[in-house]
Structure 1
Amino acid sequence: MSLFHQIALSCLPGIGSVLARNLLSYFGSEEEVFKAKSQHLGKVPGIGPKTLELLLNHEVFKFAEAELKFIDKYKIKPLFLTDDDYPKRLRNCADAPVMLYFKGNADLNKSKIISVVGTRNATDYGREICKNLIANLQVYDPLIVSGLAYGIDGAAHKESLKLGIPTIGVLAHGLDRIYPAQHRTMAEKMLDCGGLLTEFMSGTIPVTQNFPKRNRIIAGLSDVTIVVEASIKGGALITAELANSYNRDVFAFPGKINDEFSLGCNYLIKTHRANLITKVEDIDYIMGWNRDIEVPAKTQLSLPLNLSADEQIIANVLFSKGSVAVDELSFLTGLQQSRLAVTILGMEMKGNIISLPGKVYKLV
C-alpha cells in the first residue's frame, strides 16, 4: 500500500468519504485509482465529468508530498481506512474519513469509548455534572472523546487528565495548530494521556464547515455519546443526531425547562433521541456493562440448525465471541448494517438469539 497515494486520494477536491470508498471498492487500491483510465473511472457510480477531470489531473500529488514531510517531521501516525489500527467503530460508518492523522498514545479501539459533548457556554451546573460524570466513569477504564472546544468539551478533557483517564481531542483543522489557542497547554498534556485526531491535513484552518465533519468522527468513534448541557441549536445536538444515525446509544442530562442551555438536552430526551441520565449507573444498565454483576460460568452452546448463509455468519461470530454489540457484529461479519438488521430480526423471531441492553446480542 502506498501512503503517498492514500493521502492523495483523501485530499482530492470533490471526492468525499463515500465516493472514495466506491473508488477503492471498484479498483482495489488507492494506487490503481490514480492509474485508471478515464473510460474505467467513468463507470464508477458518482463519478461525473467534473470529478473525472479532478481524478485525471494529479495536482494533489504535490499536497501529498508536503503532507508526507509534515507527518515524518512531527511523528504523526496516519491511519488509512483499511489499516488494522483504524478505529473499527468509525470504519463501520458509511461516511467515515478515508484518512485520519493521529498524534498521541491512546488505543483508538479501546473496549469502552465514550464521547462527552455540550455547549461552549457551560454553566456552573453543566461543569459540575461533567466533573462528577468523568470521575464516576473512571471505574470503566474508558477512553473519553470530545472536541477540544470551550465549555463542556474542555471540561471533559480537563477532568480526564486530572484523573489520568486517556482523552482524545478531535480537531476541525490540521495538526499544525490548536484551536482555541487557549487550550494549547491542555492539548500538549493530552499527547501523553490520549491524543489529538483529525481528518484534515496540515495547513487546514478551523472554518465553519469543518466542525460538523469533526462531529461525525466524535460520534462514530464511540460506543455512546453523552450530552451534558446544550442549547437547542449547536454542535452537541448535531453530534447526538449523528450518533443516532450510526445506531449508537445517546444519553442526555435533563435541566430546567426554561434554561437556554438545557433546552437541547430536554429536547433529545422528549423526542426519544437520547436516554435520560442522572447517574453513571444509568449508562451501566443501558449499555449492559454491569460491572457489579458477577458473570456466571459459561455453558456449552450449540449452533442452531437450518440457518441461512447470513444467519450462519452471525451465529459463528456469536458462538466464538459470546455477546457482541451490533456495531462490532457488523464489523466482524462484514455485513452491511441494513442487511444485518433484517437478519438479526429474523433470528430473534425464531428464538436463535436474544437482545441485551446496549444493542448487544448473544445466542440462546
Structure 2
Amino acid sequence: MTDNEIVAWIRLQRIPGVGPINGRRLVQCFNGVQNIFSQSVRDLVQLVGVGPVMAERILNHTYQREAENQYRRILKDGIQCLSLSDGAYPGLLKECPDAPLILYQKGPLTFSGRYLLSVVGTRSMTDYGRRVCEQLIKALVPYNPVIISGLAYGIDICAQRTALKLGLDTVSCLGHGLDTIYPARHARFVPEILQKGALLSEFGLETPVEPMNFVRRNRIIAGVAPATVVIESGPKGGSLITADLAFGYDREVFAVPGRSTDRFSTGCNLLIGKHKAQLLSSPEQLVDTLQWSAAPGNSQDFTQKIRSLRQGALTPEETRICEFLAANGIQVLDEIAINCRLSVREAAAVLFQLEMKELMRAYPGKRFELTG
C-alpha cells in the first residue's frame, strides 16, 4: 500500500459513526478507500445511503489531518498499519463482518501459515485454573502455536507468560493505543513478547483506557484464531463475551469444566450446557478437532536430517527455506520468498526440489510444510 492509501484507511476508521461494517461497504461501493474522499455529499447520500450529516462528516478534512499526524507517529514508533486490503492482515479476522478496518501491530509476527489459539478466562484465576492453563499450553508445544490473549490479569497473562517460558510466540490484543500498556505492571513482559510476537490493537495512539474498548477488543481475540479456549469464568465477564463472539463467527470454542459449586467454573459450565462450547477434556481433543500436526521445527530427528543433508545434498537456498519452515511451521509461498530473500519464482522452484527430496509437503493455497 502507498502512504496515501494507509492514511485514507486511518482517516476512515477515525470518523465517528462510520464503523467497520459501513466502512467496508463504502470501500466496496467506491472501489477503493481513497475514492471515498473524492466524492460529493450528494454522491455519498445517493449511492451509499448515508445521511447528509454523516456525508459531511466523511468529507471533513479534520480527519485527514488527524490521520496524517497519526501515521507520522506510528512510523516513528515502529508500528505497522494493516488494512483490510493488506495481505498481512490476519486472514481469519478479515472474514468477520465487523472486523476492524485497520489494525495497528507492533512486533514481527506474521499470522499467515501459523497455528493460532486464543486463550481467555477470569482475572481472578484459581490454582486449578493456573495448572490447567500451564498444562494445556505445555502439551501444545510440539505444534508451535501462537497463543493469543488480552494481557489482562489472571488467565490471560498466565497463558502468555507460559507461552513465553516455553518458547512459543504470543500476541496481546489491547483495548487502547499501542503507546499504553494496561495493566501497567504487565509492561515488563512486553519486550519479550515483541521479540517474535506482537501487540495488536484497532485503536490509535493516545486512545484512553475505557471499559467499552475492551469489549470491542474481544472480537479481535475471538476472530483472529480458529479456536478459543475458556479456562475459568464467572457467570458474567469478558471471557464469556469473547466465547459468544467466537461462537457467532463459527469458530471452535472449548471450555474447561469444573465443579458446580466453584464460582469460577460457572461460566464454562454454562457455555458447555448451552452447547456453545465443547467440554475440553484433554489437549489431544483440541489437537484432533483442529487437525494440527506437530511442527517439524520441534523434531530433533528432522533437525538432524537437515544438518546431514546440508553437508552436500542441500543448496544454500534449500537450506534457508528448510530452516525458515523448521522455525515457523506452515507458510505461504509469498512469506517464504520474502523471508528467504528469493523471488516468488525462485522460491517455488526450490520448494519443488525439496518436495522431490521428500522434505516438503504442499497444501492448497500455496502453503508449504516440512515433512517430519
Q: TM-score, normalised by structure 2?
A: 0.76
Q: Which residue of 2 aligns with 1:284?
A: 287
Q: Which residue of 1 aligns with 2:253?
A: 250
Partner Cα distance (1:238, 1:164) in 2? 29
Q: Which residue of 1 aligns with 2:184?
A: 181
Q: Which residue of 2 aligns with 1:33?
A: 36
Choose the corresponding residue for 1:12, options 2, 12, 15: 15
Q: Does 1:101 align with 2:90?
A: no
Q: Which residue of 1 aligns with 2:304?
A: none
1:219/1:46 Cα in 2 relative to 1: closer, same or farther (>3 Å)?
Answer: farther
Deviations 1:263-303 (A, max 9, x none): 000000111100011210111222233659xxxxxxxxxxx
Partner Cα distance (2:47, 2:245) in 1? 27
Q: Which residue of 1 aligns with 2:139?
A: 136
Partner Cα distance (2:250, 2:163) in 1? 26
Deviations 1:93-130 (A, max 9, x none): 00000100001121222331000000011111111111
Q: Which residue of 2 aligns with 1:79?
A: 82
Partner Cα distance (1:146, 1:110) in 2? 19
Q: C-alpha displacement at 1:66, in angstroms?
A: 1.6
1:115/1:79 Cα in 2 relative to 1: closer, same or farther (>3 Å)?
Answer: same
Tell me the secondary structure at the aligned position of residue 37 of structure 2.
helix
Partner Cα distance (1:232, 1:110) in 2? 35
Q: C-alpha displacement at 1:193, in angstroms?
A: 2.9
- Conserved 8 A contact 1:164-1:193: no
Partner Cα distance (2:50, 2:249) in 1? 26
Partner Cα distance (1:187, 1:263) in 2? 32
- Conserved 8 A contact 1:110-1:142: no
More helix as a share of residues: 2
- Conserved 8 A contact 1:113-1:223: yes
- Conserved 8 A contact 2:136-2:283: yes
Runs of 4+ in 1 over 6 A off after TM superposition: none
Partner Cα distance (2:218, 2:49) in 1? 25
Q: Does 1:239 align with 2:247?
A: no
Q: Which residue of 1 aligns with 2:204?
A: 201
Choose the corresponding residue for 2:161, options 155, 158, 162: 158
Partner Cα distance (2:124, 2:253) in 1? 21
**AA of the residue aligned to 2:25:** N
Gaps of 5+ in 2: 296-372
**AA of the residue aligned to 2:75:** D
**AA of the residue aligned to 1:108:** F
1:46/1:137 Cα in 2 relative to 1: closer, same or farther (>3 Å)?
Answer: farther
Q: Which residue of 1 aligns with 2:214?
A: 211
Partner Cα distance (2:244, 2:98) in 1? 14
Tell me the secondary structure at the aligned position of residue 209 of structure 1.
helix
Q: C-alpha displacement at 1:258, in angstroms?
A: 1.3
RMSD: 1.4
Point out the more displaced range, 183-192 or 35-44. Answer: 35-44
Partner Cα distance (1:171, 1:7) in 2? 18
- Conserved 8 A contact 1:284-1:291: no
Tell me the secondary structure at the aligned position of residue 191 of structure 1.
helix
Q: Which residue of 2 aligns with 1:42?
A: 45
Aligned pair count reads 292
Q: C-alpha displacement at 1:45, in angstroms?
A: 4.3
**AA of the residue aligned to 1:63:** E
